[in-house]
Amino acid sequence: MLGEWYYATRGTIDWTETTRDRNRKPTNKYRNATETQDGKSDTMTTDKYGSSNSEDERTMNYGKEKIAVYRTYGTPLEGVRTIPESPFDGRDNTLFGLDVRVQLEGDEFLPSFRDGDNSKVVATDTMKNFVHHQLEEYDGATPEGFLHFAGSRFLEQYSQIEAVRMTANEVPFDERLVPSDDGDGFEPSELVYRVSDDESTFSEVYVEENGDGGTVISDQTSGVTELELVKVKGSSFTDYVQDEYTTLPEREDRTLYITLDIFWDYEDSHDSLGEEPERYVAAEQVRDIAQVVFHEVNSNSIQDLIYQIGLRVLERFPQLESVTFEANNRTWLQVSEEDGADSPRVLKEPPRPTGYQQFQMDSSDLGNE
């Protein structure tokens, strides 16, 4: 689960857009029961960022954000289990880019806030350099794997750090077509790529000490963000509450334009690292499921649509614990009435405000079908 969700804006993370608590929790602070030495239940308060303090409700962490890091000729992702909805079977990782955020936590940082004592402070510029160096050392094939690798290295390098939250958005690149060597058509260039405006992969890993000199993943979330889809027909919105405040006309068939952020958590967080590729859930596959279900289903609302997408994701990937959505309705408004579903329509941008939906599903929803 996410310590906090972040919007991804065209390949870079907009860390300022955090007005909603994206932790799927009812408040920014949530309480975890812990057992004391006398066997009684104690309460530890954890803030919206995942930081904790057993003595009070203090938020205490610091870090570096917007760390852009790139690597060429990384380890390919191979051996991914294919699904009917997607042609995706791996990534060559010829060009691998991430926009990274590092958040450090530990009680030994308190004097830096309280007393101005920097003796335990790791400079944020050092964090940036450390992340750059770790990507050179990382020999895995997934963003989640890299975040776990770098987070664990932070804990090994600096004893004053108790936990690290590593978050990243992929900087996506598209292959470019060039004439094939044999002159028969076109083929992807092995040298030239375009920086993409498409959806991107989101990854977050929370790593902390396990008490035995090692580290443990205590929280993890993967995702695909800023997926934009338009369906020209085959969606409706009817039978909603009608009263004196209702002005929106019902639509038996409408052009539907949505944006989607989709996040998923694994039953076993280590499956997210890609060390067993057949258990790894690629963002490209979840993206493709979303667009295939959008194509197949004549939904009566965005709520109906994301539920059907969630069911398909959970069916295809039983190793997941949950799937969470944030959808935004960007549907264009009709300028004139159409005579039929296949008739030409003139549409215009909707005014603000726009509607949104948030929803979480798990395997128990499969039993309701």
Q: Let me know: does 347 contact 334? Beta carbons within 8 Å.
A: yes
Q: Decide: 202 and 225 in contact? Cβ < 8 Å.
A: yes
Task: Name the residue type at position 197.
Answer: D
CB-based contacts of 124, cutoff 8 Å, min separation 6 = 62, 63, 64
Tokens for 5? Answer: 């969700």
Number of Cβ atoms within 10 Å of the Cβ of 121:
16
152 residue type, one letter: S
Decide: 69 and 13 in contact? Cβ < 8 Å: no
Short-list 328, 330, 319, 323, CA closest to 309: 323
Q: 10 Å Cβ neighbour count for 83?
A: 21
Question: What are the residues whose beta carbons fall under 8 Å from the beta carbon of 119, sequence distance 6 or more?
Answer: 111
Q: At 220, which amino acid appears?
A: Q
Is 48 annotated in the active site?
no
- The C-alpha atoms of residue 266 and residue 243 are separated, in whole angstroms, by 43
> What angle do the packed helices 283-296 and 302-316 form, to 10 degrees?
130
The single-letter DSSP state of residue 353 is: P
Strand order in the sheet with 320-329: 62-72, 95-105, 163-170, 200-209, 215-237, 251-266, 320-329, 356-362
Active-site choice (46, 48, 64, 225): 64
User: Active site includes 64?
Assistant: yes
Distances (CA, A) of 292 to 174, 204, 353, 363: 21, 26, 28, 21
Catalytic residue among 94, 124, 233, 259: 124
CA dihedral (20, 25, 29, 33) in degrees, to 10, reads -170
- Which residue, 344, 324, 342, 326, is CA-closest to 334? 344
* Separation in Å, CA 284 to CA 80, 141, 289, 300: 11, 14, 9, 26
Q: Which sequence positions are flagged as catalytic?
A: 64, 124
